[in-house]
Amino acid sequence: MVSRSRMLMGTTATVAAAALTVTGVVLTRSSDPAPTPVADAAEAAAEPLPSGPPPPPVTAQSLDLDGKPVIEKGRETLRLAKRSVTRFSLLGVTWNDALLSFQGDAAVRTRSAASGDWSSWQSLDLEPAVTAGDPDVVAGHTRGGSLGLWVGESNGVEVKVVSAAGRTSNKLPAGLRLTLVDPGPTTSGGQGGGVPLADPAASASAEPPPADTGTDPEPAPPPVAPAEPAEPAASTPAGPAATTTTPAATPTTTTTKPPATTAPNVPANSAMPSYVSRRGWSADEKLVKNAPVYGTTVNALFVHHTAQSGSNSNSYACADAGKIIRSIYTYAVTGKKLNDMEYNFLVDKCGTLYEGRKGGVGRPVTGAHTPPFNTDYAAVAVLGEFGTTAVPAAVTTKIAQLAAYKLGQYRHDPAARFTTTVRGSNAKVKNGDRITLGRIAGHRDVQATACPGNALYAKLPALRTEAAGVLSGLRITGLAGGRQSGATHVVRDTLKISWSVSTPGGVIGGFEVRVDGKRAATATAAARSASVQLAPGRHSVQIQLNRVDGPTSMSATRTVAADVTKPAFPGRPDVTLRTGTVHPAAAPVKLSWQASDAVGLSSVRATAPVRATFGPSIRSWNTSAKPGAKTTWRLQAVDLAGNAIAAPVLRTPTLVAETKGKRSGKWSKAAGGSHLGRAALASSAKNASLSWTFTGRSVALLAMKSKTSGKMYVYLDGKKVGTVNLNSGTTAYRQAVWTKSWSNAKKHTVKIVVVGTKGHPKVTTDGIVHLK
């Protein structure tokens, strides 16, 4: 990825003589399965078990920019005017000669298929030339080109390509072509894709490779016959996929052995993190024509991003990552005529890892990512651009895990640097140069490019330390002093943190607890826990291992929130009457509350008159209260840190007998032990009424339900407010059949009126109950 990030804006100039030839190519999967190598143990573990349907068809359109360029401000310029095209989501510009580094500029505008709006101009990243002898380069076939730019579903395009100004040549390269790719519908492989891998120890070599000495080993001569690569953690693919086809002229790197030094103690292999396989993101394997090429080691992991700084490529949904990867793959093979995609691995912005170039995730597969550092190196590309965009922690953690696995296979310390001799040239390094690189390096370290963007490149030092922590087995095993809430541990102000490590004790100098990147506590080499005081707020916490010989390792980050603020009841708890059966010693009530906390509630507890505990999302409790007695309910809200606040509410239920009501019409006494006071009033006379006046904040009407009962109207303070049907297949006495509550205690009058329901008009009442 080159370091040009300026945007080319459109002008009103036109190219009168420009003509374009449009060639449509539809790529679909045939019914015959493509030959694939036998998977190694790690790779096989990530393959989805069901075979599933064939991948969706991927369509690639080619537009040859074969018109005559015009001169604008001393530079050759070729335009493709706005036009409608078949739907696509990714595009790129290529040219005939893959060995030519085009130093000009190319920019595009696209029209959204959804809205019909045209985008602003976006620059394309023009990739440096590949190196002669690279396994992917076929003379007269492989093309130079830009990175593919993901623009989302589009159906219109405009292009401007401008030659270099004041550089080696002000001519446009021959054979300029625009490739448009439609990846088809979304399939498996978005966020959360892939499956956990089997234990890598099951496929580990009995003889581990030598420890990292700070230089690369002397490379083996290129094999001239099928050979088994020196790869320690995976079985060798069988059949055609195992054939090594590296030409004698393949660029590589060599090193010389330095004077003997004490080698850092690098533990055995880390586990391969879970990932989405090629089958998981629906790669069409028929596009790959040649068997994978293998090196003998992985000296470093190069970090890339896939889009030009300033582009809109970070707006994708992680569920669409499989579509983006299919597009990158298709553009690499059909647009640039590579054998396979450039990268060994890819990561989306949600931290999901994807297998890239085929050949086995546990093997030293030669890619086409960072010439002349393709053989004996690996590369991971993050989907999107990270010039100024913040890098999600999930992304750096996944890269650290991957780096620990790939470098750990060869006993390379991810935090170390090494010196090597370059075999091949580009605009930044020359053949024979001696250069020093980190085991985790940025694309820009060896090529004239801004990739992987300033924001992601700035993360590499911390990423190296985190990867070393993964490889050393350093991990946080416990957080105490509070409660876990999702991915966050909540404490008041003191955190006790525990950890484990597999690094031998003799090389450990001590540990540090790092809070928000700063040292908060230290511990001896033998310690495996420490306590720290935290200021209120959210913090990132890590453990740093300091080795005797200088290097450090860092654990994965844990999020901790310190909270000393008590929760709150925004409105005081309330008690109201509810429907249900009334007893002389118990009236049905509902206790309601609203509790909140800045960080998170743990529970709400009732401590009086009875004890009960409720989850943080519960907002009410159906209980009862004794009529005629003052009752105080006490609630306590407790947050995740253990802070608590109490709130009381006092209420007195009062029974008012039916005989205390003001009567109108014919009412008669209904005797029976099931009624309150062993008696009630009943009426079947239409418009007979009873009313009660009281002072309170909640009221309930008491009546009997039965097969012979009918309906009654309810009036409150002179207004009709409802109709209650007392008819029921079963008989129920002393029922609170209608309730009403207010925020304050006031004087009210409630009245019932017999409707006179045909066939079963009777209304039997036990009076009312109200709360003071």
**pLDDT tens digits along 116-127:** 999 999 988 888
Mean pLDDT of 34-40: 34
CATH, residue 332: 3.40.80.10
Q: Strand 144-145 relative to strand 668-671: parallel, antiparallel, unpaired?
A: unpaired
| Whole-model pTM over 0.75 | no
Phi-psi region of 175 (alpha: psi -120 to 50; beta: other; left: phi over 0): left
> Which of 655-664 are b and which e, b meaning 16 or more Cβ less than 10 Å from the residue's Cβ?
bbbbeebeeb
- pLDDT bin (cut points 50, 70, 90) of residue 53 is low
**252-278: per-residue pLDDT in tens?**
333 333 333 333 344 445 678 999 999
Please report, for the domain that includes residue 103, its CATH number: 2.60.120
Q: What is the mean pLDDT of residues 97-104?
A: 83
Read off the pLDDT of residues 175-200 as tens digits, 9 standing for 90 and up: 999 999 999 876 544 333 333 332 33
Q: Which amino acid, residue 628?
A: G
Q: Which region, left, alpha or beta, applies to residue 332 given φ > 0 means left and ψ of -120 to 50 means alpha?
A: alpha
Which amino acid is located at 273 in the chain?
P
What is the rounded average pLDDT of the residues 128-150? 79
463 and 500 belong to one structural domain: no
Provide the pLDDT for residue 36.
Answer: 33
Residue 103 domain-assigned (yes or no): yes
Hey, how many other C-beta atoms are within 10 angstroms of the C-beta on 717?
A: 12
Residue 222 in domain: no
What is the per-residue pLDDT for 344? Answer: 97
Total structural domains in the chain? 5
Q: Could you tell me if 504 and 585 lie in one domain?
A: no
**Smallest Cα–Cα separation from 412: which of 216, 544, 255?**
216
In a domain? residue 191: no
318 and 451 both lie in a single domain: yes
Contact 690, 661 (CB under 8 A): yes
- According to the model, what pLDDT value does residue 427 have? 83
- Which of 161, 182, 203 represents a domain boundary (last residue)? 182
How many separate helices (H) and strands (E) can be counted in the chain? 5, 42
Q: Residues 442, 482: one domain?
A: no
- Answer yes or no: is 233 within a domain: no
H or E segment and range at residue 732: strand 732-754
Calpha distance 261→159 (Å, rounded): 56
Q: Is residue 662 part of a domain?
A: yes
Q: H or E segment at 321?
A: helix 321-330
Give domain status of residue 680, yes or no.
Answer: yes
Q: Is residue 33 part of a domain?
A: yes
Contact in structure between 7 and 120 (CB atoms under 8 Å): yes
pLDDT of residue 170: 66
- Is residue 553 situated within a structural domain? yes
Whether residue 766 contacts residue 676, with contact meaning beta carbons closer than 8 Å, is answered with: yes
Largest distance between two CA atoms of the chain: 116
Answer for the pair 640, 619: CB distance below 8 angstroms, yes or no: no
User: Do both 146 and 34 map to the same domain?
Assistant: yes
Q: Are residues 640 and 671 in the same domain?
A: no
Q: Would you give the distance in Å from CA 364 to the centre of its chain?
A: 28
Q: Supply the CATH number for residue 682's domain.
A: 2.60.120.260
Report which of residues 189 and 283 the model is more confident about.
Answer: 283
Domain shared by 611 and 483, yes or no: no
In this predicted structure, what is the pLDDT of residue 25?
Answer: 34
Look up tokens 């596009």; give the residue: 287
> In this predicted model, which residue has the larger pLDDT, 138 or 291?
291
Residues 452 and 555 placed together within one structural domain of the fold: no
> In Å, how far are 130, 140, 425, 433, 439 from 251, measured between CA atoms?
10, 19, 9, 13, 19
Choose the final residue of a domain: 532, 562, 592.
562
Residues 526 and 467 in one domain: no
In the chain, the percentage of residues whose pLDDT exceeds 70 is: 80
55 burial level (CB within 10 Å; 0-12, 13-18, 19+): buried
Same domain, 728 and 759: yes
Kindly report the length of the chain. Answer: 772
- Within 13 Å of residue 224, how many CA atoms lie on the same side as its CB? 2
Q: What is the mean pLDDT of residues 10-34?
A: 32
Residues near 115 by beta carbon (within 8 Å), at least 6 away in sequence: none
pLDDT at position 310 is 55
Sign of CA dihedral 462, 468, 469, 470: positive
- Strand 631-639 versus strand 601-608 pairing type: antiparallel
**End of a domain among 651, 667, 691?**
651
Mean pLDDT calculated for residue range 472-496: 92
Does the pLDDT value for residue 571 go beyond 80? yes
Please provide the average confidence, as pLDDT, over all residues in the chain.
82
Same domain, 613 and 579: yes
| R_g (Cα) of the chain, nearest Å | 37
Digit-coded pLDDT (tens) for 340-397: 999 999 999 999 999 999 999 999 999 999 989 999 999 999 999 898 889 998 999 8
CATH number at residue 556: 2.60.40.10
Instruction: Say yes or no: 676 and 714 in one domain.
Output: yes
Over residues 485-497, mean pLDDT: 94
Q: What domain range includes position 724? A: 655-771
For the record, the structure tokens of 409 come out as: 């296979």
User: Which residues lie below 8 Å from residue 271, measured CB to CB, with a gap of 6+?
Assistant: 197, 199, 200, 401, 405
CA distance 437 to 455: 19
Most confident of 38-42, 57-61, 89-93, 250-254: 89-93
How much is the pLDDT for 250? 37
